[in-house]
Amino acid sequence: MAAKPRVAVTRLIPEAGLDLLRTRCDVQVWEGDLPPSGDALHTLLEGADAALTLLTEKIDGALLDRHPTIRVVSNFAVGFDNVDVDAATARGVAVCNTPGVLTAATAEFAFTLLMAASRRVVEAATYVRDGKWQTWGPKLLLGQDIVGATLGIVGFGRIGKELAKMATGFNMTILANDAYQDPTAEAEYGMTYVELDDLLARSDFVSLHVALTPETRHMISTREFGIMKPTAVLINAARGPVVDTDALVTALRNGDIFAAGLDVTDPEPLPVDHPLVTLPNCIVVPHIASATVTTRDAMAELAARNLLAVLDGETPEVIVNPEVLKSGSPA
């Protein structure tokens, strides 16, 4: 009887995904709370046919060369900036991700941050906890209106579109910027495509939903904060390095923008004494936009199904580099 394929899983993911893998594979899981260090990762990957990875693992050509038995890297995330896809493709290694199943959870969390930052929810709760609440105040903790405001969505893919649908319920004017303009989107979502600078100048809320690429790294920096309204709120539920951290600190300190709500930061995690953590007009949460029970189950199952399909020589539901299948590799 042929040996079961060996699968390395770089963190404890929901059982739904592990159970699927265990039906057919010999599964080794890194059970630490923190990501495996370099050596531990190499030990885990030794002899593996497939790796189910997290966004905390950097998968590059050198790592794949050291583990040439790996045929698929199935990332437990929609983002895959942690994987050098070109290096994987050059080695015939399939790269998969988990789009779709986390769209609603991520969009609703971006909207949660939008509401919390504009209405100063965390600052207000801290005010009460700190024993500062003495009376009702006409000018106490004033925020920014959401209903009827203008929302600028940078990156109008699945998550950006879902956010637009939610914003419609708040009667918001929706602007979007994207390198690719979907010809039916304006009619379907009641939004308008604009240039980035136009979006920044007109929006009361700017919400980032682009993938991290060389083009999007620091796409929001000092110049862009200079264009934004002083009442604007920035939301980042994409990737931390899309925003220039130092420029954001300066903008928040100087009142160039009103507030920020950050699910992601650069670096991650941020030190507890970092200005973005301590500034009252900034909310930082630990990269949890997709963190609902059902969404994480669905991500685990999709990542497992993708991985198994590649091992079976089939086309997975989602693959980032389908050309590796066409060339006859990696099966």
List residues near ligand DGY by CB under 6 A: 55, 77-79, 102, 290
Q: Which is nearer to ligand DGY, 104 or 251 (CB)?
A: 104
- Separation in Å, CA 268 to CA 55, 71, 76, 134, 215: 11, 29, 17, 37, 20
From CA 95, how far away is CA 239, in angstroms rounded? 19
Whole-angstrom distance between the N-terminal and C-terminal Cα of the chain? Answer: 19
- Separation in Å, CA 307 to CA 12, 144, 302: 16, 45, 8
Greatest alpha-carbon span in the chain: 77
Q: Which is nearer to ligand DGY, 81 or 198 (CB)?
A: 81
326 Cβ contact list (under 8 Å, min separation 6)? none
Q: Look up tokens 């006409």; give the residue.
A: 138
Q: Which is nearer to ligand DGY, 109 or 225 (CB)?
A: 109
Picking from 104, 102, 99, 92, the residue whose alpha carbon sits closest to that of residue 68 is 92
Q: Look up tokens 């086309």; give the residue.
A: 315
Picking from 220, 43, 210, the residue whose alpha carbon sits closest to that of residue 110 is 210
CB of 257: closest distance to ligand DGY in angstroms?
A: 23
From CA 211, how far away is CA 227, in angstroms rounded? 22
Residues 267-293 as b or e (16 or more Cβ within 10 Å = b): eeebeeebbbeebebbbbbebebbbbe
Q: Which is nearer to ligand DGY, 208 or 232 (CB)?
A: 208
CB of 318: closest distance to ligand DGY in angstroms?
A: 12
List the catalytic residues. Answer: 239, 268, 287
From CA 206, how far away is CA 284, in angstroms rounded? 16
31 Cβ contact list (under 8 Å, min separation 6)? 12
Q: Which is nearer to ligand DGY, 172 or 234 (CB)?
A: 234
Picking from 8, 18, 4, the residue whose alpha carbon sits closest to that of residue 66 is 8
Q: Which is nearer to ligand DGY, 109 or 205 (CB)?
A: 109
